Amino acid sequence: MSVEAIHLGATESGPLTDVASVRAIAGKGLEGDRYFCADGAKPGQAITLVEAEVVEDVGLEPGATRRQVTTRGIRLNDLVGKRFRVGDVECLGVELCEPCSHLESLTRPGIVKELVHRAGLNADIVGGGTIRVGDEIAEL
């Protein structure tokens, strides 16, 4: 159960950058990402995660789901309402991150249907730190 990739974007539709690590700020988000909010992130919008197995299953490239952290070996749906760690960063799973028409416009027709209830997890950052590719993920 680990972090396989980290993708950050400066804008909603712009390209994503694959990074080896990112600083996670409690209550604000991931530094350098479009959803980082210095005044405080909306609940469930500080960090998004997706399972690599799902990305592969639907035939997308890593990062194409627009989620920030790609994981391997953990069922993210099971973390809704639970605290978990990504490396040394403590998070709280808020809700499933359902696919939308914007994602479909950036990928291909039909992707929304393929990703319903498995497009990832929206979470809050409760305790900050640094997330790195290869970090372990564990439910608390």
Rg of the chain (C-alpha set): 13
* Cα–Cα dist 8/32, whole Å: 7
* pLDDT the model gives residue 56: 97
Give the Å distances, CA to CA, from 51 to 28, 37, 134. 23, 25, 14
Residue 60 belongs to a domain with what CATH number?
2.40.33.20
- How many domains is the chain partitioned into structurally? 1
Please give the Cα distance from 80 to 121 (Å, whole number): 7
Q: Is the pLDDT of residue 4 over 80?
A: yes
Three-class HEC string of the chain: CEEEEEEEECCCCCCEEEECEEEEECCCEECCCCCCCCCCCCCCCCEEEEEHHHHHHCCCCCCCCCCCEEEECCCHHHHECCEEEECCEEEEEEEECCCCHHHHHHCCCCHHHHHCCCCCEEEEEEECEEEECCCEEEEC
pLDDT tens string 86-106: 999 999 999 999 999 989 898
Q: Which residue has the higher pLDDT, 11 or 115?
A: 115
Indicate the pLDDT class of residue 14, thresholds 50, 70 and 90.
confident
Span 16-67, pLDDT tens digits: 999 999 999 999 999 999 999 999 888 889 999 999 999 999 999 989 999 9
User: Does the pLDDT at position 13 exceed 80?
Assistant: no
Mean pLDDT over residues 2-28, rounded?
94
> Which amino acid is residue 118, in one-letter code?
R
Are 66 and 56 in contact by the 8 Å Cβ rule? The answer is no
Its domain, for residue 60, covers 2-139
